[in-house]
Amino acid sequence: MNLLPKLKYLLFLSLTLISITSQAQKKSYKATIEAFRTQRITNLKAENGWLNLVGLFWLKEGKNYFGSGSKNDLVFPKGSISNQAGYLVLLNGNVKFYGIDGTIINVNGIPCKEAKVFDKDSQNNPILSYKDLRWTIIKREDKIGVRLRDLINPLLKSFKGINYYPIDSTWCVQAKLSKSETQNVFITNVLGQTTPQATLGKLTFSLKNKQYTLDALEDDGELFILFADSTNGIQTYHTGRFLKANLPDATGNTILDFNKAYNPPCAFTPYATCPLPPKQNTLPISVIAGEKKYGKH
């Protein structure tokens, strides 16, 4: 009995199954990245996203008047609110709001004439609102300011999406987290403020048969990585990009998927206070994966 034809058929069937499995895996991986990108756009357009920001104002000690009039300390968009709608009082790191008759300002949805809107010892400070405007008090080291949103900001309509590099699974690599010699990494933001931030350690991984490391922070139960590479200022945002990953498993391993590398908020708005990648997180290669630069940056 000649087994050769049968063996050839079995080999062909095996290779076909491998090919089908490989194609299915590629299709599934592509769908995962596309879903990530869709959610990313949804987040940018959300009420707490970055596309509706229309102002960032730093408060001075004492009274700070706000409204659409040009003589206010905080000048809101023309026509969005009354000429002078109220004032904020910054005193010893705390902020109180006082309304002016004729304009009803809501604090967490409740009409108020006055309210404490920033407590230096609290993490849950309220949202002020008037029609389509939303504003909150933020703190950046020694600076306390107002971040203003407009839910009908024209950028929400003119936004045409983000350009990406082609999805390429070779940029999805295994990394191992090891403890760093230091507990903190010094991070500088676009305001020039430098602060120590707790690091979970160094991620070691290989790309194109070469080994690299990145210092990792933690954000909302995930690894948070600020990194720069040779594409910055040419094809990608000039200061670098962000990347998140799952916390490592019991053996210290996790996955870094650079197809999920994304632009910092400052790529979309001048009213953000983005952190910059530390020098040691500059990769000496071109990471041609993830988001490309947005707009005219």
In this predicted structure, what is the pLDDT of residue 122? 86
Cα separation, 144 vs 131, in Å, equals 24
What separation in angstroms does the CA of 80 have from each of 71, 102, 131? 15, 14, 8
Domains of the chain: 53-157 (2.60.200.20), 160-281 (no CATH)
Cα separation, 22 vs 40, in Å, equals 27
Can you give the pTM of this predicted structure?
0.88
Tens of pLDDT, residue by residue over 85-124, are: 999 999 999 999 999 988 999 999 999 999 999 998 888 8
Name the band, by pLDDT with cuts 50, 70 and 90, for residue 16.
low
In this predicted structure, what is the pLDDT of residue 3? 63
Q: Considering the chain, what percentage of its residues have pLDDT values greater than 90?
A: 85
In this predicted structure, what is the pLDDT of residue 143? 97
- Do residues 195 and 253 touch, judged by C-beta distance below 8 A? no
Number of other residues whose CB lies within 10 A of the CB of residue 94: 16
Phi-psi region of 208 (alpha: psi -120 to 50; beta: other; left: phi over 0): left
In this predicted structure, what is the pLDDT of residue 25? 78
Task: Flag whether pLDDT at 232 surpasses 70.
Answer: yes
In this predicted structure, what is the pLDDT of residue 171? 97
Name the band, by pLDDT with cuts 50, 70 and 90, for residue 182.
confident
Name the band, by pLDDT with cuts 50, 70 and 90, for residue 21.
low
The whole-number average pLDDT for the span 165-180 is 96
**Which residues are 253's β-sheet partners?**
176
In this predicted structure, what is the pLDDT of residue 18? 56
Tens of pLDDT, residue by residue over 257-289, are: 999 999 999 999 999 999 999 999 999 999 999
In this predicted structure, what is the pLDDT of residue 147? 98
Name the band, by pLDDT with cuts 50, 70 and 90, for residue 12.
low
In this predicted structure, what is the pLDDT of residue 162? 96
CA quadruple 22, 245, 285, 172: dihedral, nearest 10: 0
